[in-house]
Amino acid sequence: MNYTQEQIDAALAYIDYKETNEDLQLLHNITREPKSYTLVAAEIIAAAYRELQEAIHSTIAKNLHLADGDDCTLKRLKDVIKFKLPEDQ
């Protein structure tokens, strides 16, 4: 499921114990199943993480010339997803 930025922000606020009533309503509206807000928030954050990881990997793969060393433009992104360049590069 693709979550909105508002839903992701609500999930992060809930996990950080900074949620508002609006955040709780957003989490409640996501599912009609008897799930806890913690589980719903975890599902949202996991989905957002996977989407970000895929986007970062794709960006690095398309811009290998900016990710070819330890002092490169995309180093922080490489590190966060543990991206490895192919051995033959």
Predicted structure pTM score: 0.77
pLDDT band per the 50, 70, 90 thresholds, residue 59: very high
Closest by Cα among 33, 35, 36, 6 to 22 = 6
**Amino acid, single-letter form, for residue 46:** A
Q: Counting Cβ atoms within 10 Å, is residue 6 exposed (0-12), middle (13-18) or buried (19+)?
A: exposed
Closest by Cα among 67, 43, 45 to 57 = 67
pLDDT band per the 50, 70, 90 thresholds, residue 32: low
Q: CA quadruple 27, 31, 35, 39: dihedral positive or negative? A: negative
Residue written as token pair 């989905």: 47
pLDDT more than 70, % of the chain: 91
